[in-house]
Structure 1
Amino acid sequence: MTETTSTTPVSAEQAAREQALTERVLASFNHTPNERLKEVMQSLTTHLHDFVREVRLTEKEWGTAIEFLTAVGQITDDRRQEFILLSDVLGASMQTILVNNPTTENATEATVFGPFFLEDAPYIELGGDIAGSAHGQPCWVEGTVKDTHGIPVPGARVEVWEADEDGFYDVQYDDHRIAGRAHLFTDQHGEFRFWGLTPTPYPIPHDGPVGKMLEATNRSPVRASHLHFMVTAEGLRTLVTHIFVEGDPQIEIGDSVFGVQDSLIKRFEVQPAGTPTPDGRDLKDKNWARTRFDIILARSDEQQ
C-alpha cells in the first residue's frame, strides 16, 4: 500500500519512517517549562515537517532556502528590515494582525506595520507639516480619535509616516534625512490635523532576496498608495493602520503586502491651486488635496 502526495507516490513504510521522525522531534519539546513555548514549537515542527513531506522537498531546494534566509539576514540592518518585508509579502504579517486584532464593535481596522517605522520621529504641533524635505502634493489630513462608545480621546499620540512622491521613505536615502514622518497629539476634543503628502503607489524594496523571490514568482512589488498611522492612548488598544487612496488602480491590481482593507480606503479630494486652505497656508501656485480619517480605538480589555 502506498500514500500519495501531490507529486510523488510514497510507500507506507517510507511514510511511517517520516512520521516517526516527526514524533521524535515533537517529543523532544515535551519538557519545555513554558507551556506556550511548547505549544508553539510543537505546532511549528508539525507544520514544517508536513510541508517538507507534502512537497517532497529536495536537499538542493532546502539548501537554496537556507541561502535565501541567510541573504535576508545579511541585508538587514538598522535601516532596512528584510525579514519584515518577507513576512509582509507572504501575508504572514497581515494574518498575524487579523488574529490579534479581531473585529471589535466599530473599531478602526488594523493593517501591516511595514519595515520603515522609526522611533523618535519629530514632534509637530497640530496643523504642522510632516513632509520636511520630502517632495509631493501637499495634503491636509484631519480627523478625530474616539473610543468605541464615541467618547473623544484627548492626548492620544498619533504617529504618521509615508513615502515621498518618488516612492522612497527617508530611511532609504543615504543622507540620514528625517522627512515624511512625525508625531502629534490630539487636542481636548480628540481632534488632530496636519499637512502631509498625497500618497502615491510605490514598489517595496526589491533589490534584495525578497525582490528576487517576487520576480521568480511573477509578482509585482508595488504597494497601493497609503499613509501610515500608529495611535496610542492609555487604556485603549494600540492601533497600527494605514489609509488608502480611493480610486488608486493599484488597489484593484493588488497590494504586494495584502494590507488593504475596504474600510481604510478614503477619498482624497484634490483642490485647485488658489483654493483657500484650512489654516491659511499659501498654496496659490499649486493644487493640494485633503482627506479625513476618523479613528476609533477599542478598549485594551477588548483585545481578545
Structure 2
Amino acid sequence: MDFTVDTATAAVEASFDATPDPRLREILQSLTRHLHGFVRETSPSIEEWNSAIEFLTDVGKTCTDTRQEFILLSDVMGVSMLVETINGQDVGTESTVLGPFHMTESPARELGESIDLLGGGRACVVSGTVRSTAGTPLANALVDVWQCTEDGFYDVQQPHVQPEGNGRGLFRTDEQGRFWFRTVVPSHYPIPTDGPVGRLLQATSRHPYRPAHVHFIAAADGYEEVTTHAFVAGSAYIDSDAVFAVKKGLLVDFVETDDTVLAAEFGVEPPFIHARFDIELQEKETL
C-alpha cells in the first residue's frame, strides 16, 4: 500500500498490531493517531520539522545527573501537572509536580533537625501530621522534603556554594503521625533558563518564575504515595506559576510567632516563622 497523507496513520498503527504488551500497543497506536493529527493540522515545513528535532536533541543533551530538562519541558507544557492530576488521590492532599530538582537522594534526618545547612537569616519551622483520609495518624510515614534557599537556588544549582543535601531531608513521623523540621522560608525563583526550555519561554514571552514553595513526598504502608507542595501564601507569582502547579488547597501561611512554648517545643528562639502543613493519604484499594 502506498504511504500517502490519507493512508499514513493506518499504516503506522497497523505496524504496532503485533506488540505483545497490550498497554504498550494502546499507547503507541494512540500516539500515532494524535501525532499524525497534529502534523496534518499544523503542516510543518521541512525546516520547521528539523528545528523541532534539533530542539528535542538539545533538551536531551542538556540533561545531566542533577538536571532533568525533559521534566522541565513537561512542566512548562503543563503535561506534568496533567499527569499528576489524572493520577492523584481521589481524596486527601492534592498532588503537584515532582519538578526537575528531585535528582539527588535526600539525607535521612531526625525529627526537628534543620535542613538549612547555610544558617539562614530567619528561623522557620515547618510542622504537620500525616494521617489517613479517615483522620487516623500514620506513624512511621516517610516524609521527603526539598526546597530552595532564601535566594531561590537548590543545592544542585550551586554545588560550589551550598553543601550537598542543603534544603533536603528524609523524615519519619512519630507515633502520632507528626513531623517537624527547621528550615528557612524559601524564595520564589526562576526555573533554569540557560537551556532549550528557557529559549522556548523567551520565544513565547512567558516568564520563568515559580512561587515560593516546599516540596513533599509522603508515603506510608498501605496508602497511596503523594507528591505535593506547600506554597507560601502571598508569594510572588502565586497566580502565574510557570509550571501550573499551584492549587488553592496547598497555600500555607508562613507566620511569625512569639509563642515561647512553641519555640521551646521546636528548639528555636522566638520570634520565628511557623508553617503548618498536614498531609492526608488515601488508602490503597485491595484487590
State the TM-score, normalizing by the size of structure 2. 0.93
Aligned to 2:263: 277
1:80 is displaced (CA, Å) by: 0.6
Find the aligned partners of 1:77 and 1:278 in 2 and give their Cα distance: 43
The one-letter code matched in structure 2 to 1:41 is L
Name the counterpart of 1:159: 144
Amino acid at match of 1:20: T
Tell me the C-alpha RMSD between the 2 structures. 2.1
Give the whole-Å Cα distance in 1 for the aligned partners of 2:277 and 2:97.
17
Matched, 1:183 2:170: yes
* Cα displacement (A) at 1:135: 3.7
Q: Does the Cα contact within 8 Å between 2:88 and 2:226 map onto a contact in 1?
A: no
**Structure 1 partner of 2:22:** 35
The 2-side partners of 1:273 and 1:156 are apart by 28
Q: What pairs up with 1:1-304 in 2 under 5 angstroms?
A: 17-104=4-91, 107-133=92-118, 135=120, 137-175=122-160, 177-252=164-239, 254-271=240-257, 277-279=263-265, 281=267, 283=269, 288-301=272-285
Kindly state the Cα deviation for residue 289 of structure 1 after the two structures are TM-superposed: 1.1
What is the rounded CA distance, in whole Å, between the counterparts of 1:40 and 1:265 in structure 2? 35
1:206 match: secondary structure? coil
Amino acid corresponding to residue 255 of structure 2 in structure 1: E
Unaligned ranges ≥5, structure 2: none
CA shift, 1:178, in A, is 2.1
Counterpart CA distance in 1 for 2:206 and 2:260 is 41
Equivalent AA in structure 1 for residue 173 of structure 2: T
TM-score (norm 1): 0.88
Aligned mates of 1:280, 1:42 — CA distance in 2: 55
Cα deviation, 1:117-167, whole Å, max 9, x if unaligned, reads 145322221111111126453211111011111111000011110000111
Residue 45 of structure 1, CA deviation: 0.6
Q: Does the C-alpha gap of structure 1 residues 70 and 109 become closer, same or farther in structure 2, counting only changes over 3 Å?
A: same
Inter-CA distance 294–282: structure 2 relative to 1 (3 Å threshold): closer
- 1:149 alignment partner AA: A
1:295: how far off?
Answer: 0.7
Question: Radius of gyration: which is bigger?
Answer: 1
Letter in 1 for 2:248: D
In structure 2, C-alpha distance between the alignment counterparts of 1:196 and 1:153, rounded to whole Å = 23
Query: Matched residues in 2 for 1:197 and 1:142: separation?
Result: 13
- Unaligned runs of 5+ residues in structure 1 are 1-15
Contact conserved, 2:16 with 2:25, CA < 8 A, in 1? yes
**Count, aligned residues:** 283
Deviation sequence 1:223-265 (CA, Å, 0-9, x none): 011100011111110111001011123112x000011011000
Hey, what's the Cα distance between the residues in 2 that align with 1:79 and 1:39? 33
Q: Determine if contact 2:89/2:224 at 8 Å carries over to the other structure.
A: no
The answer on whether the counterparts of 2:97 and 2:245 sit within 8 Å (CA) in structure 1 is yes
Deviations 1:147-194 (A, max 9, x none): 111111000011110000111100111336220001111000001111
Identity among equivalent pairs (%)? 44
8 A Cα contact 1:116 1:169, kept in partner: yes
Alpha-carbon shift at residue 205 of structure 1 (Å) = 0.6
Deviation of 1:97 (Å): 0.6
Is the 1:134–1:164 Cα contact (8 Å) retained in structure 2? no
Instruction: Give the distance between the partners of 2:15 and 2:37, measured in 1 at CA.
Output: 17
